[in-house]
Amino acid sequence: MSDTSSSPRACPNCNANAATPLPQYSRDEWRIVECKSCTMVYLQNPIDYVALEEDYAWEKTYAELDKERNRKKSWIKRAARQVRILNYRMKRDANERFLKILGPGNILDIGCGDVVRCQTPFVPYGIEISKAMQKTADEKMRALGGECVLGAGAEAIWDFPKDKFDSIMMHSYLEHEVQVAKILDGAMHCLKPGGKIYVRVPNYNALNRRISGPNWPGFRYPDHVNYFTVKTLKAVAANAGFDFKLVNRHKIWLDDNILALFTKPTTL
């Protein structure tokens, strides 16, 4: 199993090193901090990419944390959770709404897991760091004319040619990426002018986080390394040259997630 980083990580937004520890949200050896310059909250000692491929693969860490949190919940909270899940399944899939906004063509799903979120008229491509999930996703995407490559998003995205994609999905991805600036620079490179990125990340400013504290579902150790607010998500988009639009503005204070569109300008 790989060790955590030997030196403290700089802020993924402004690259400052001075940070305030948040011990109430830290766990075991994982240190959550808040940047003193821009208030970005992040994991200061993330693990390396090799460990994320297998030792800390998403499908393992999520299952373990989900079981632990369920054991701590009362029967009322467990029942309420099942009602929320049922309600969610009965609603129209949010991804389908965004696919209509993104439009047809080549679409890159970064951190796609083992699923394909779109069909014709899209040609699906993916990047996945978990070896087991990448293999399954690649088989599905090749059948639709695309492919899924194995690797870390911030590294693998540079293997695609300039202006390759009409749109990009970062669905529950950017909170996992240590190299935020590098992945967004890569997206700017391979996205066509006017192309859009659908971004979904946990909302650190959510009311539920303030009420639940360290039990907030958005905390995941160690694979969640960035805890965005609307302010800091907009800042990292602007740093990379993207226009930013908050989609769920009407309920953002209640929503556990931020839904946003990053758009590449037509003229740079």
Q: Please, where are the H alpha helices in 143-206?
A: 153-156, 180-190
Please determine, for residue 233, whether its predicted confidence score (pLDDT) is greater than 90.
yes
122 Rama sector, left if φ>0, alpha if ψ -120 to 50, beta otherwise: beta
In one-letter notation, the amino acid at residue 209 is R
Q: In whole angstroms, what is the distance from residue 26 CA to residue 24 CA?
A: 6
In a domain, residue 139? The reply is yes
Please determine, for residue 250, whether its predicted confidence score (pLDDT) is greater than 70.
yes
**CATH code of the domain in which 144 resides:** 3.40.50.150
In a domain, residue 68? The reply is yes
Is 204 strand, coil or helix? coil
In a domain, residue 247? The reply is yes
Would you state the pLDDT for residue 253?
86
Overall number of domains in the chain: 1
| Domain coverage including residue 120 | 48-263
- Do the Cβ atoms of 144 and 123 come closer than 8 Å? yes
Nearest to 174 by CA among 13, 5, 48, 35: 13
Would you state the pLDDT for residue 1?
34
In a domain, residue 4? The reply is no
